[in-house]
């Protein structure tokens, strides 16, 4: 575990490590936005059922995620390049939303099977939505890092991060 922490510390001091930290921070921000919007539209106001609420929450969270990742994580400014930046981002977002539709449908099914009250349904839907986007997190970083990177060593640094992340996940407490 100590070796993993040292490896992550060294990685943080590389250009890709800094991007990774910023990317992770943007992911936390967009997760909080999505979680909050979903909690409000589905959990509190009950505007829509699980699937439309999940789609809406993810669309709302995607807008700040794009701009924060583009400007802060990858340091881009000026007009966005449609085919190199906008299309890949929204394609990955659409894949994530499609996955979240599937998990929201599964959450609805499980909530019905276990006859959960609305609060329980909300917890299951929130967890399903978070899980769907967690699956895409590293893949999105690698894709966007390849599209937006300036540093030729960035890919090797990203692989180092993935190795360290896998070690952390596989480590016993």
Asked if residue 138 has pLDDT above 80, the reply is no
In the predicted model, what is the mean pLDDT of residues 37-56? Answer: 96
> With contact defined as beta carbons under 8 Å apart, do 141 and 149 qualify?
no
Q: State pLDDT tens for residues 50-90.
A: 999 999 999 999 999 999 999 998 889 999 999 988 998 89
Question: In the predicted model, is pLDDT for residue 153 greater than 60?
Answer: no
Quick check: 43 pLDDT over 70? Answer: yes
Average pLDDT for 96-110: 92
b/e sequence 147-158, b meaning 16+ C-beta within 10 Å:
ebbeeeebeebb
Higher pLDDT, 66 or 142: 66
Tell me, rounded to whole angstroms, the distance of Cα 81 from its chain centroid.
22
Whole-number pLDDT of residue 162:
64
SS3 content of the chain, % helix, strand, coil (to 5): 85, 0, 15
pLDDT band at 103 (very low <50, low <70, confident <90, very high): very high
The reported pLDDT for the residue numbered 157 is 60
Nearest 10 degrees: Cα torsion 93, 52, 126, 89 = 10
């Amino acid at each position: 575990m100590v070796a993993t922490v040292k490896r992550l510390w060294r990685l943080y001091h590389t250009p890709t490590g800094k991007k990774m930290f910023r990317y992770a921070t943007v992911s936390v921000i967009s997760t909080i936005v999505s979680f909050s919007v979903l909690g409000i539209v589905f959990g509190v106001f009950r505007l829509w059922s699980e699937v439309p609420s999940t789609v809406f929450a993810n669309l709302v969270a995607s807008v700040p995620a794009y701009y924060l990742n583009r400007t802060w994580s990858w340091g881009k400014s000026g007009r966005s390049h449609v085919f190199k930046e906008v299309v890949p981002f929204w394609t990955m977002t659409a894949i994530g939303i499609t996955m979240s539709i599937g998990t929201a449908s599964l959450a609805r099914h499980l909530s019905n099977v276990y006859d959960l009250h609305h609060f329980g349904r909300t917890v299951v839907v929130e967890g399903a939505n978070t899980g769907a986007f967690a699956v895409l997190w590293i893949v999105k970083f690698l894709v966007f890092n390849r599209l937006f990177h300036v540093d030729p060593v960035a890919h090797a640094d990203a692989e180092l991060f993935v190795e360290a992340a896998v070690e952390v996940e596989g480590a016993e407490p």
